[in-house]
Structure 1
Amino acid sequence: MPLSSVGRKFFPVEAAAEKQEKKSRKTEQLPVVAKKSAGSQNTHAERPKTPVRIIPLGGLGEIGKNLTVIECSGDMFIIDCGMAFPDAEMPGVDSVIPDFTYLEKNADRFRGVVLTHGHEDHIGGLAYLLKKINVPVYGTQLTLALVESKLKEHHLSQSAKLNVVKPRQTVRMGCMAVEFIHVNHSIPDAVGLAVHTPAGVLVHTGDFKVDYSPINGGIIDLARFGELGSKGVLALMADSTNAERAGFTPTERTVGESFEKLFATAEGKRIIVATFSSNVHRVQQIINCAERYGRKVVVLGRSMINVMNIATKLGHLQVKKGTIIDVELMNRYSAKDIVLITTGSQGEPMSALTRMAMHGHKQVAITPQDFIIISATPIPGNEKYVTRVVNELMKSGAQVVYERMYEVHVSGHACQEELKLMLALTKPKFFIPVHGEYKHLKKHAQLAVDMGIPKENVLIAELGNIIETNGVQMKVVSQAPCGSVMVDGLGVGDVGAIVLRDRKHLAQDGLIIVVLGIDKNGTVVSGPELISRGFVYVREAETIMEGAKQRVCDALEGCSANEIRDWNNLKLTLRDVLIDYIREATQRRPMILPIIMEME
C-alpha cells in the first residue's frame, strides 16, 4: 500500500490559531486564575476560552505504551500508540498495550492518530487500535514505513489510512491544528508537536535530545520552539526519561569516534556489533567504519534486516554497493574482513546474539577470533539477561566491549540542561512532564519550578487523568478508564489477573492432577491416579506421591461414608486434603486439579 501525501490538507498555523481565538472570546470567565509563569507574554486580564482536554492513557509512571488523548469540543485525536515489554510479574505475556476503552466509547469524535517517531513504545500498539477503530494516521516517512511493515503482519496494510507529513507542516484535527516540528532522537524522522487549539498552543516534544552535530536529518528545530514560546505556549508536555541526569546528552558522533578506535584495536579479528535495530544513526556509523577498514557487512536478526531495508530505501542509510553480503557468503572471507551487525543488545532470549552466545545459531559460532561490541545500555530489568550473554560470549573466548568499559552508546533522550533549554524556549504557562516513571516526572517537575514556572502550574499527572485547561487555569476534572491490556500470541486482553496468578502459581510450585472415575451410583470404579508436573520428579519422590495417593483414598472413603455425592464438594475435599498433606511433607503449595469422570 503506497503511503499517501497530505499536502492538500495542510493549514497555515497562524491563520488557524487566530480564527479559533476569535471564536473563544464569547466564553464566560472562570473564577480560578493560575499564576503566570516567568515567560508569560500577556499583561491584560485573561479571559477563559473553549476548554481543551489532555488525557494520558499510557507513558506516565511507566516506561513504554505511550498514548495521550487531546480533545476539544466535539473533536479528539491521540499522540502515539505504543506498547511496553512485560515485566517479571507477567509470565508468558508477549507485550502490553494501553486500554482503548475510552477511545472506543468516543469513536464518533476520534479524528486520527499523530505519531512522533517509529519506536515500538510509540507505534507498537497501533495495529491493535486500528483493528477496533480505523482512523487516519499521520507521521513522517520513516515512521509510517515502519508502521506499514507492522500492519502487514496484522493484515491491515490495505485498509489503513497512512498520511505522510513533513516538519513545519500541519494537519487539521477538527477544531485543532497539529504542527510537526523536527527533533533529534535515536531514530531519524522524529518530530515534536505544536497543537493549536482554541484555548492556546500545546507543545509535545515527543522523545528528543539536542544534538548539534547529528549524523543526518539536521539539528532540532529550536528556532520554531522559540517562535512558539515568544507567541505564548499554554502548556508544555516534555520527555522526562533522562530528567535525573545532569548536563547534556553527548552527540551520537562520539559513538562513531569510539567505533573508529575499537575497529583499529580489533585488527585481525571478526567484529560483531549488537545494537537496537531502530538506531539507524548507529548502524550508519558501523557501516561507515566497516567501509573505511575494507570490511564486508553481514546483517543478522529479522528486525535489523527489516529496518535497514526500509531506511536504505528511504535514503536514511547510505551504503556503498557490495558492502553488505548475505550470511551464506560470509565463509568466503577471512574473519578480519567481516563485520556482523546484529540484534540482541538487550539479551533477548531469541535474538541473534543470544543464540550465538548459547551456541544455538546455525550460521555463526563464537570463537576467540571474535571482537564483540554491545552498543546499547540495558533497559531497566534487562541487566541480568545482558550479563548472562556477556558471560557466555567470554566463555567462548571472545573479547567483549560494552558501555561500562567504553563509550559505545549515547542516549536518545535529553538530559537536564536540554530540558531546561526547552522550558526556556517555549516559556509555557503550564507544564506536564511525560514519558517516564514517577521519579523521572518528579525530577522534571522540579526543574520546571527551578526555571520559574509557578509550582501550582506544574502537574504530575497520572494515567487516566482528564486534565482540562481553558487558557486561564488547568485542573484534573475527571478520570478516564485506563490500564494495561496484555497480548499473548494471538490473544489480546484474554490474559488478566487471574490467569497471571495461575501462571505464577504453576511456575513456583507446579501441578498435581488427581484423576478418578465414578459410576452413576457414586462408586469409585477407577483410580485415583496422581499426575505431577513441575512439582517433584516422581521416580525420586515415590514416597511423597504414594502418601498423597493414600490420603486421596482415605478422603474418598470418608466421602462415601458420609454420603457425599456432589462432585464439587468431592473436588473441594480432595483439594483440601492434598494441600494439607503436601504442605506438611514439602512446605510447597502446588496447584491441585481434581478431575472426575463419569463412567458406565
Structure 2
Amino acid sequence: MTVTFLGGLGDVGRNCTVVEQDGKLLVIDFGVMFPDPAVMPGVRQVLPDMGWLNSRARDVVGLVVTHGHEDHLGGVPHFLRNIEVPLYGSALSMALGEHKVTEARLADRTSFHVIGDGERRKIGPFDLEALPITHSVPQSLCIVLHTPVGALVHTGDFKIDPSPVDGRLTDLDRLRSLGDEGIALLMADSTNADRPGRSASETEIGATLRRLFSERPDRRLIVSCFASHLHRVQQVCDAAVDEGRVVVPAGRSMVNNFRIARQLGVLNVPERAVFGVEQLGNLEPRDVCVVCTGSQGELGAALSQIASGTHSDVKVGLIDTVILSSHPIPGNERAVFRMVSRLARQGAEVIHDGHEQVHTSGHAQRDELRELHQACRPRWFVPIEGEYHMLARHAGLAREMGMKAKRVLTLTDGAQITLKGNELQVRAGVPAPYHYVDGALDDPGAEVIGERLALTSGFVHVTVVLDAQGRLAAPPDIASRGWLDVTKHADVVESLADEIAESVERAVQPSRAIPDADEIERVIRRAAGRFVGTRTQRRPAISAAVISLD
C-alpha cells in the first residue's frame, strides 16, 4: 500500500490524498484553496498539481469525496478534464458534485455513486467503508480502506459534535471496533490542533441566532455563511421562520445549494417562506432574512457586492443588521474586515464572531482529537489538512498520548509512504507544486505569477532606435506605468533617457565591433535598473526594445 499526499499538508485547502493498491489508484478529495492576492495576483483558484496523476491516469479507478466543501470538492471539474473517472460520496456530496460537473459540461466524463453511512463498497481492488462523521456540512464521511496491511482511516474534515443539527453522530463505536482489529494508518484533520478543549456544538449557534433575531424585530437581517454550510443555513431558516420572516437566498452558490439541499430533504424550509432575491422590493424589511454567500470577503460573492454597493437587488443602510456567521480562513482576515468596514460605512449594524457566538468551527479541537486517537489507536499516524504548524501540533498530541515518535510522521505535499506488513517507508515523493487557475486559460505557472508580482511596483519600458552604424538615431523613448507620476517628475524621466543614451553610446564606440540587438537590450536594462534603483529607490519591472534602421 502506497499513500501519496498531493495537497492539504502545509496549507488550509487544496486537499488531495491518493492511495495505491495492486497498481491501482484511489483518489480521496480534490479541492481548491483560496489564493493569497498578495503573492498570487490575479489567481482565481489554487489546485493540487496533476502532473503525477496524469502520468498514472489509466490506473485511477475512482475519486471519493469526503464532504461537500470547496476545499475537498471544488477541483473535481478540473480533475475530470484530465482524467475520466467515476465519483463516489454521500448523496449530498454527489448532488453538489453533479451540479458542478454538469455546469462545466463534463457529465459525460464521469458517473455518480452514492455511498450510505456504514456501507462497504468495492472500487477496483479497494474495499471501502464509509462511516458517518460530524462536520459543518451534512453527510460528511470518514473513509476506511480495508487492506492487506490493516485498515487505513482518512477522517476528512470532522469534529465530534454530541448534538448535531441533523442528529447524525460520529460513529466512534465503529472506529473503536476497527482499533481493536488493528488500524495500520490514521490520517486525521489537524485544522484546530492548536486549540484546547472542544468546539462548541452547532446547535449552540442556533440559540444565538434566535436571540439576535428576536432582539431586532424591525430590522432587515442579512446572514452570510458558506453556501455548503447547510446545518448553519438550516438554523438561520428556522430562526427566521419562527420570527415570521421569509428567507431570501442570495449569491449563485447559495441559491444552487439551497435548491439542491431542499430537493434532497437535507434542508427543510416551508415553500411559503422562500422568496427570490428579485422579490425584495415587494417585501417589508422587518419581514425578511437574506442568507447569502461572501462571508470570506471573496470578490464577486453576494456580500462583497452588497458591501461595495454593486449588488443589483440588495442595498444596505440604517435598517439592516448583517451577521457574518463564519470565521475568516487564515489569510482572509484583511479582506473580511475591509468588507465589514464598507458595510458599517453604509450604516448597517455588523455582527461577527468577535461580538457574539454566531459561529463554531467544524473542526475538532484538542480534546476531540484525543477522543479520536483513543478510539483508533493506530500503528502509524500522519496528520493531514492544515498549515504545517497545525500538523506539528497534532503530531505532538499523538506523541503525548503514547505513540512512539518514529510512528508519527509530519509530512508535506508530495510525500509518499509505503506500508508493507508492519513496516512503513517514506519514499522520495513526487512534485506537488501549486496549480494556478486564472480565467479561461489554465495554469499561468509560477514564472507568470513571479512576473505579475514584479509588476506590482510598476514597469518601465525603453525603446531605442539605432541607425545602420549602430548609433542612436533618436533619443531613447521611455514609457512607464505605476513607477512614478511623469507630470511631476519629468526631470527624472529625462535623466533616465540621458543615462541610457550614454550607456548605449559607450557600447557602440567606433573602436569596437557593433554589438547585436540582444547585447544592446542588456545594456539598456542594466543602465535603467541602476538608475531607477539609485534615483527612486523603487524596483519596477524593466523591459527594452531595440529597433535597427538597416
TM range (shorter): over 0.9
| 2:483 match | 535
- Kindly provide the amino acid, as one letter, of the partner of residue 536 in structure 1: L
The alpha-carbon deviation at position 124 of structure 1 amounts to 2.1
Asked if 1:263 is matched to 2:207, the reply is: no
The secondary structure found in structure 2 opposite 1:462 is coil
- Kindly provide the amino acid, as one letter, of the partner of residue 276 in structure 1: F
Asked if 1:83 is matched to 2:43, the reply is: no
1:218 to 168, 176, 192: 168
The alpha-carbon deviation at position 453 of structure 1 amounts to 2.5
The secondary structure found in structure 1 opposite 2:290 is strand
| 2:506 match | 558
The alpha-carbon deviation at position 77 of structure 1 amounts to 1.0
1:502 to 447, 451, 457: 451
The secondary structure found in structure 2 opposite 1:218 is coil
| 2:6 match | 57
| 1:272 match | 222
- Kindly provide the amino acid, as one letter, of the partner of residue 129 in structure 2: E
- Kindly provide the amino acid, as one letter, of the partner of residue 306 in structure 1: N
The secondary structure found in structure 2 opposite 1:317 is coil
- C-alpha separation between the residues in 2 aligned to 1:101 and 1:552? 44
- C-alpha separation between the residues in 2 aligned to 1:332 and 1:165? 43
- The number of equivalent residue pairs is 547
| 2:375 match | 425
| 2:417 match | 467
Partners of 1:185 and 1:412 within 8 A in 2: yes
- C-alpha separation between the residues in 1 aligned to 2:221 and 2:46? 35
The 5-angstrom pairing of residues 173-572 of structure 1 reads: 173-216=123-166, 218-496=168-446, 498-507=447-456, 509-518=457-466, 522=470, 524-525=472-473, 528-562=476-510, 564-572=514-522
The alpha-carbon deviation at position 180 of structure 1 amounts to 0.8
Asked if 1:71 is matched to 2:20, the reply is: yes
| 1:590 match | 540
The alpha-carbon deviation at position 226 of structure 1 amounts to 2.2
Distance 1:311 1:75, change over 3 A: same
The secondary structure found in structure 1 opposite 2:53 is helix
The alpha-carbon deviation at position 317 of structure 1 amounts to 0.8
The secondary structure found in structure 1 opposite 2:425 is strand
The alpha-carbon deviation at position 292 of structure 1 amounts to 0.8
The alpha-carbon deviation at position 217 of structure 1 amounts to 5.7
The alpha-carbon deviation at position 586 of structure 1 amounts to 0.9
- C-alpha separation between the residues in 1 aligned to 2:356 and 2:213? 13
- Deviation sequence 1:357-377 (CA, Å, 0-9, x none): 222223222211111111100
- C-alpha separation between the residues in 2 aligned to 1:62 and 1:293? 41
More divergent stretch after superposition (401-410 vs 341-350): 341-350
Stretches of structure 2 that go unaligned for 5 or more consecutive residues are: none
Distance 1:565 1:445, change over 3 A: closer
The alpha-carbon deviation at position 524 of structure 1 amounts to 4.6
Partners of 1:62 and 1:435 within 8 A in 2: yes
TM-score by length of 1: 0.87
The alpha-carbon deviation at position 567 of structure 1 amounts to 0.4
- Kindly provide the amino acid, as one letter, of the partner of residue 592 in structure 1: I
RMSD (CA atoms): 1.9
- Kindly provide the amino acid, as one letter, of the partner of residue 325 in structure 1: F
- C-alpha separation between the residues in 2 aligned to 1:69 and 1:101? 13
Partners of 1:176 and 1:198 within 8 A in 2: no
- C-alpha separation between the residues in 1 aligned to 2:91 and 2:487? 61
More divergent stretch after superposition (553-562 vs 92-101): 553-562
- C-alpha separation between the residues in 2 aligned to 1:138 and 1:404? 38
- Kindly provide the amino acid, as one letter, of the partner of residue 264 in structure 1: S
The alpha-carbon deviation at position 291 of structure 1 amounts to 0.8
Distance 1:217 1:102, change over 3 A: farther
- Deviation sequence 1:73-107 (CA, Å, 0-9, x none): 22221111112122221112111111222222223
Aligned-pair identity (%): 37
Partners of 1:246 and 1:416 within 8 A in 2: yes
- C-alpha separation between the residues in 1 aligned to 2:183 and 2:501? 76
- Deviation sequence 1:451-509 (CA, Å, 0-9, x none): 2323322222232222122231222133223222111222333321x2222211110x2
Distance 1:375 1:541, change over 3 A: same
Asked if 1:171 is matched to 2:121, the reply is: yes
The secondary structure found in structure 2 opposite 1:478 is coil
- Kindly provide the amino acid, as one letter, of the partner of residue 479 in structure 2: I
- C-alpha separation between the residues in 2 aligned to 1:332 and 1:492? 43
Stretches of structure 1 that go unaligned for 5 or more consecutive residues are: 1-51
Distance 1:520 1:139, change over 3 A: farther
- Kindly provide the amino acid, as one letter, of the partner of residue 33 in structure 2: A
- Kindly provide the amino acid, as one letter, of the partner of residue 316 in structure 1: V
- Deviation sequence 1:111-166 (CA, Å, 0-9, x none): 21111011111122222222222122211111122222222343212222222221
More divergent stretch after superposition (224-233 vs 136-145): 224-233
The secondary structure found in structure 1 opposite 2:379 is strand
- C-alpha separation between the residues in 1 aligned to 2:539 and 2:188? 48
- C-alpha separation between the residues in 1 aligned to 2:538 and 2:295? 37
- C-alpha separation between the residues in 1 aligned to 2:78 and 2:307? 34
Partners of 1:144 and 1:164 within 8 A in 2: yes
- Deviation sequence 1:258-297 (CA, Å, 0-9, x none): 0011001112111111111110111111111111111122
TM-score by length of 2: 0.95
Partners of 1:76 and 1:173 within 8 A in 2: no
Partners of 1:142 and 1:189 within 8 A in 2: yes
- Deviation sequence 1:163-185 (CA, Å, 0-9, x none): 22212112223332011111111
The alpha-carbon deviation at position 417 of structure 1 amounts to 1.7
- Kindly provide the amino acid, as one letter, of the partner of residue 576 in structure 1: R
- Kindly provide the amino acid, as one letter, of the partner of residue 174 in structure 1: G
The alpha-carbon deviation at position 204 of structure 1 amounts to 1.2
Moved over 6 A (4+): none
Partners of 2:85 and 2:109 within 8 A in 1: no
- C-alpha separation between the residues in 1 aligned to 2:462 and 2:101? 45
Asked if 1:162 is matched to 2:112, the reply is: yes
- C-alpha separation between the residues in 2 aligned to 1:485 and 1:329? 41
Distance 1:395 1:477, change over 3 A: closer
| 1:48 match | none
Partners of 1:189 and 1:217 within 8 A in 2: no
- Kindly provide the amino acid, as one letter, of the partner of residue 8 in structure 2: G
- C-alpha separation between the residues in 1 aligned to 2:404 and 2:499? 70
Partners of 1:552 and 1:574 within 8 A in 2: yes
- Kindly provide the amino acid, as one letter, of the partner of residue 291 in structure 1: V
- C-alpha separation between the residues in 1 aligned to 2:14 and 2:431? 15
- C-alpha separation between the residues in 2 aligned to 1:426 and 1:582? 62
